């Protein structure tokens, strides 16, 4: 598939230390990019606006407030689909995801509806996390596998490629989660629709610059969302 039909969607909040370098790195491979900024007070959106003068196929959505990860992706998916893109990439702004791994994931595009960059299959790795965070993430994924009875090993990964058709099938616009649990809900919805899900090993790095967005509130929301998904109705 031509890269003209693929777009990298990147939600941002206070990523001024990372966003210019990430965009320049992606543009070395001619990727189309959509940034969704949640009114970052550190001028992230101004940096992107200036780069738009230099690069074509760099798009920016400025939002009025911090509305959350799930909300950002829902808006990004709709915008990208309306623009005619056929493959939509989820990618973090903090260099935890590597472009070399993205290129590896792209090679699987013709064999899958959903491609997950996985830390927890063979050859998947995590760099820079302490033991506590490793155990928390690994335990969360094991619990999700037990609860939902599927074999996907990295349900919380935020590095993915969806086909536009798969997003329509899972009714992404009806997702209820906005934080950490958004990725779990998207995985579960994909599983329920019997989509072809492929995990590709990646190396995940702790962010280079800026502050992590992970909080106790986000983790609590994720736990509650799991039970809501399991015992509620998924539309």
Q: How many domains does the chain have?
A: 1
pLDDT of residue 196: 98
We report the CATH number of the domain holding residue 48 as 3.90.550.10
Q: Which domain holds residue 94?
A: 3-231
Per-residue pLDDT of the chain (235 residues; tens, 9 = 90+): 567 799 999 999 999 999 999 999 999 999 999 999 999 999 999 999 999 999 999 999 999 999 999 999 999 999 999 999 999 999 999 999 999 999 999 999 999 999 999 999 999 999 999 999 899 889 989 999 999 999 999 999 999 999 999 999 999 999 988 877 899 999 999 999 999 999 999 999 997 655 554 555 566 666 677 767 777 777 7
What is the radius of gyration, based on Cα positions, of the chain?
17
């Amino acid at each position: 598939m031509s890269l003209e039909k693929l777009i990298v969607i990147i939600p941002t909040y206070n990523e001024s230390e990372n966003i210019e370098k990430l965009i320049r790195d992606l543009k070395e491979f001619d990727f189309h990019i959509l940034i969704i900024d949640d009114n970052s007070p550190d001028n992230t959106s101004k940096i992107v606006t200036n780069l738009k003068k230099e690069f074509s196929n760099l798009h920016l959505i400025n939002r009025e407030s911090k509305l959350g990860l799930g909300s950002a992706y829902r808006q990004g998916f709709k915008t990208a689909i309306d623009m005619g893109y056929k493959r939509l990439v989820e990618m973090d702004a903090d260099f935890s995801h590597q472009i070399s791994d993205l290129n590896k994931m792209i090679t699987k595009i013709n064999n899958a509806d959903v491609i997950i960059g996985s830390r927890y299959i063979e050859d998947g790795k995590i760099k820079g996390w302490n033991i506590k965070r490793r155990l928390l993430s690994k335990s969360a994924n094991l619990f999700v596998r037990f609860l939902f009875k599927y074999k996907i090993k990295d349900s919380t990964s935020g590095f993915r490629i969806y086909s536009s058709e798969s997003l329509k099938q899972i009714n992404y616009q009806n997702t209820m989660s906005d934080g950490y649990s958004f990725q779990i809900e998207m995985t579960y919805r994909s599983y329920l629709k019997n989509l072809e899900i492929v995990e590709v090993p990646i190396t995940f790095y702790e962010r280079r610059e800026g502050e992590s967005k992970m909080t106790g509130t986000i983790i609590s929301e994720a736990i509650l969302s799991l039970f809501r998904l399991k015992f509620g109705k998924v539309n």
